Amino acid sequence: MAESEKIRCGVIGVGRMGRHHARVYAQLDGAEFVGVVDHDEDRRNEIVEEWGGKAFSTVEDMIEVGVDAVTIATPTVTHLDVATPLLAKGIACLIEKPLAPTAEVALAIADAAEEGGAVLQVGHVVRYDPVMRAIASIENLRPRFIEMTRISPMTFRSTDVGVVLDMMIHDLDLLTMLLGNEPSEIYADAVSVISEAEDMCNARLVFPVGSDGFSCTANVTASRLALKTERKLRIISEEAYVSADFVKRSVTIIHKTANDAQLSDLRKRLADGEDLTSVDFVEVLTVDEPEIGNEDALTMQAKDFLHSIRSGTKPEIDAEAGSMAIRTAERIMQQAGTIAALH
């Protein structure tokens, strides 16, 4: 597809997330916003009144008018049925996370994309968050321990799945991004309070030794019953300590090499029996706090999606990446005894 040619884009499902995808396509250079599909007539009309395009009652109506790419932001359990006719016609699909409710369904969606020769990208948008981009840019990170916390008050959306597929799935994808493989061991517990599925879950994931010769353990907590919103990530590696707050949009990095002299001095003074109780450890260290950009993660994701369509290249978050996160999620739910809620 020529760089100057606009890609006709639409959105299927314009609830809490879908309406933002509509906004992005309507404002994005290189995209022609075709319109939206939603079962709620008032909602679809509201979106096109604000952002243009046409309001469609069915996916077939949108296909008939003509569309090159869509975002699917319908409930997770509907993704296969919604995506199949689109992928069969070679229409590129950006499917909101999680890709599917089970690994088996995720494979069926991936097969449909391959058969139709269509681009398939999974909407794990946190990868595009400037905070995460800053972390991903750290050289030779080699994590040994990762702690992830994702908690918020109940919003009563995405209740078709539990907190593992609703919220923790973001962090499972980030682990895929950071480590490139799936855990070899999983220990998990979960609690259901309001939903039929789990509302809170903690999982300890042990990853196998990688090509760098190191293994990694991750402790991941997700809750949609908290009294506050918190999104934090901490990484301990051979080379650095990283602390990130996605709500406050901050990253703190303590590099080992930048503090070799300070640490060597402290070790020597301790060995000599010196009393260091008056030393402020934080003041001794050299701390890096990189500037965090203000790019909109959803816009960056859409640009990447359109680039894959134009260039014919595989998206960064393809069906396999999305499936890896789901396979890990299923194992967590199996360990926590909540897997039955999926079926």
CATH number of the structural domain spanning residue 39: 3.40.50.720
Confirm whether 239 is domain-assigned: yes
pLDDT in tens, 322-331: 999 999 999 9
Mean pLDDT value across residues 279-289 = 85
Whether residue 2 is contained in a domain is answered as no
> 103 and 39 share a domain?
yes
Average pLDDT over residues 244-255: 95
Residue 143 shares a structural domain with residue 94:
no
Asked, for residue 197, whether it belongs to a domain, the answer is: yes
Same domain, 334 and 306: no
The answer, yes or no, to whether residue 342 has pLDDT greater than 60, is: no
d(CA 216, CA 143): 6
pLDDT digits (tens, 9 = 90+) for 121-130: 999 999 999 9
Domain of 280, in residue numbers: 127-294+327-342
Residue 117 lies inside a defined structural domain of this protein: yes
Whether residue 84 sits in one domain with residue 17: yes
Q: What is the mean pLDDT of residues 235-263?
A: 90
Q: Are residues 281 and 304 in the same domain?
A: no
CATH number of domain containing 149: 3.30.360.10
Together in a domain, 32 and 107: yes
Q: What is the DSSP string of 263-313?
A: HHHHHHHHHTT---TT--HHHHS--B-PPPP---HHHHHHHHHHHHHHHTP
Structure-token match 């923790």, residue found: 168
Distance CA 306, CA 205 (A): 34
Q: Are residues 225 and 335 in the same domain?
A: yes
More confident residue, 37 or 238: 37
Model pTM score: 0.90
Number of domains into which the chain is organized? 2
